[in-house]
Amino acid sequence: MRVEPKAVEEVARELYVRALKILPPDVKEGFARLAATESDATAKRVLGTMITNIRVAEETENLLCQDTGIPIYNVVIGRGVEIGGTELKNAIRRGCERATREYPLRSSVVHPITRRNEQTSCGPGIPPIHIDFSDEPETLVIEMVPKGSGSENNSWLRMAIPAEGIDAIKTFVVDCVLDAGGKTCPPTIVGVGVGGTSDLCVALAKRAATRPLGTACEDPEGAKLERELSEAVNMLGVGPQGLGGDSTAFAVHVEVAATHITMNPVAVNMQCHSARRASAAITPAGVEYGF
């Protein structure tokens, strides 16, 4: 299946706007679950306002949140998909720029030293485009995640050592949630990376934070850890917006990678309650949008 760069560009443009407007069903269900069990009166009101906002965004076809985030694209190339690697990346970048200019979206991206905003949501190394491969025949999947800065500014890495054991990982996650308080726009999805190298550990945390709610870590030990941590962080009482309550996190998600005999790295990356993402599958039948 030959995929034209123009088609990829259109999909990349559409995905950015869709992601900013429509919250995935698993996140809406997460809200319903929290609202049903929350015991704090202020927290109930806060959750109620967030749920109202989701409805208003859909009714007025407006963006859920003003923060258009750092645009991230995750691409999975199936078997028999023909497109040049460079033209694929360029097409995604053009689509991202066009979404910003044509909608128009707030460009939230600046040069890190000059702080100059090109008003395109793009810049050196941005958008990050992650490319992976699958055995799915004739299928190109593009996922778009606009990652808000309130949550992204609360990201941590700790290179713990083996003698500190799993306790170091658990303690670190709890302390990160305490440190974040209301700054991450809770309720959050707390993404935890365990193992790997330093950079892989942080990437795992991001993957965990942007994973759909209701999914489990494929590694059984990671799945056990995320169940324990999900229950524990909601004992802290940080609550929605850091104003107190039971609903501090929708869930803690864990992703793992093997690591060195001398290492015990842990990273935390958070996703805010506006846990936005959109995806599209390009096949010979056309383009199908989803989450």
Partner 1 sequence: MTHHVLRPPITEEQVRALRVNDTVTLEGALYGIRDANLIALFDKGRKTRFDMQGQAAIHTAPNVKRVPPSPQHPAGYAPVCVGTTTSARMERFTRPFLAMGARILIGKGGLGKGSLDAFAELGGAYLAIIGGTAALETTWIEAIEDVDLDDLNPESIWKFRVHGFGPLLVAMDSHGASLYDAVQQAASGRRAQTLARLGVK
Binding stretches for partner 1 (CB under 8 A): 42, 46, 49-50, 52-53, 56-57, 60, 62-68, 103-108, 115, 117, 119, 148-150, 153, 167, 170-171, 174-175, 178, 181-185, 228-229, 231-233, 235-244, 272-274
Query: At closest approach, how far in Å is the CB of 183 from partner 1?
Result: 4
Q: Which is nearer to partner 1, 136 or 156 (CB)?
A: 156
Query: At closest approach, how far in Å is the CB of 9 from partner 1?
Result: 22
Query: At closest approach, how far in Å is the CB of 208 from partner 1?
Result: 18
Buried b (16+ CB within 10 A) or exposed e, 9-46: bbbbbbbbbbbbbbbbebbbebbeebbeebebeebbeb
Q: Which is nearer to partner 1, 165 or 214 (CB)?
A: 165
Q: Own/partner pairs for 244-247, CB < 8 Å, 24+ apart?
A: 244/40, 244/42, 244/43, 245/38, 245/39, 245/40, 245/42, 245/43, 245/44, 245/46, 246/34, 246/37, 246/38, 246/39, 246/40, 246/43, 247/34, 247/37, 247/38, 247/43, 247/47, 247/186, 247/187
Q: Which is nearer to partner 1, 23 or 91 (CB)?
A: 23
Query: At closest approach, how far in Å is the CB of 212 from partner 1?
Result: 18
Q: Which is nearer to partner 1, 123 or 242 (CB)?
A: 242
- Number of residues that this document lists for the chain: 291
Phi and psi for 192 in degrees, rounded to 5? -120, 125
Q: Which is nearer to partner 1, 46 or 77 (CB)?
A: 46
Query: At closest approach, how far in Å is the CB of 15 from partner 1?
Result: 17
Report the distance separating Cα 15 and Cα 142, nearest Å. 9
